[in-house]
Amino acid sequence: MTEAPNVNRATCPSRIVLEHVTSRWGLLVLAALRERSFRFSELRREIGGVSEKMLAQTLQTLERDGFLLRDAKPVIPPRVDYSLTVMGREAADQVWALAHWVERQLPAVVEARESYDGARVS
């Protein structure tokens, strides 16, 4: 058994980072960028349902944490490409594996829910 990370503290720094990569949009950004680099509005269309504000905010957070690179080309009209860093790639693979695993368990989860809800009605 490896030594326990102390994520038990609400203020623990790794907790914050963990929330960045598993957050609603953070996860989707990382997942999308696994395939290739994206422009801002490409990313927005690819993910779907994300507001400009949240996408910008998410991208900034992940860039600041060192998970992705922002390449702003000084042209008119502006063109900004986002891609994963090496660390970002690892993070993306991790959360992707988790997402994938969850999706595989979905039938079991649905069944568990029906069982749970059924028991409460009877």
**23 vs 83 by CB, closer to DNA:** 23
- Confirm or reject binding of residue 101 to a second copy (CB under 8 A): yes
**41 vs 94 by CB, closer to a second copy:** 94
Give the whole-angstrom CA distance, residue 91 versus residue 87.
6
Helices assigned H by DSSP within the chain: 13-22, 24-33, 40-47, 52-64, 86-121
- Confirm or reject binding of residue 84 to DNA (CB under 7 A): no
Residue 85 in tokens: 């860093």
**9 vs 104 by CB, closer to DNA:** 9
Three-state secondary structure call for residue 62: helix
Q: How far is the CB of 104 from a second copy (least distance, A)?
A: 8
Give the type of residue at 56: A
Calculated CA dihedral for residues 78, 69, 61, 20, nearest 10 degrees: 130
Binding residues vs a second copy (CB under 8 A):
2, 4-5, 7-10, 13-14, 17-19, 21-22, 24, 27-28, 31-32, 46-49, 63-66, 87, 90-91, 94-95, 97-103, 105-106, 108-113, 115-117
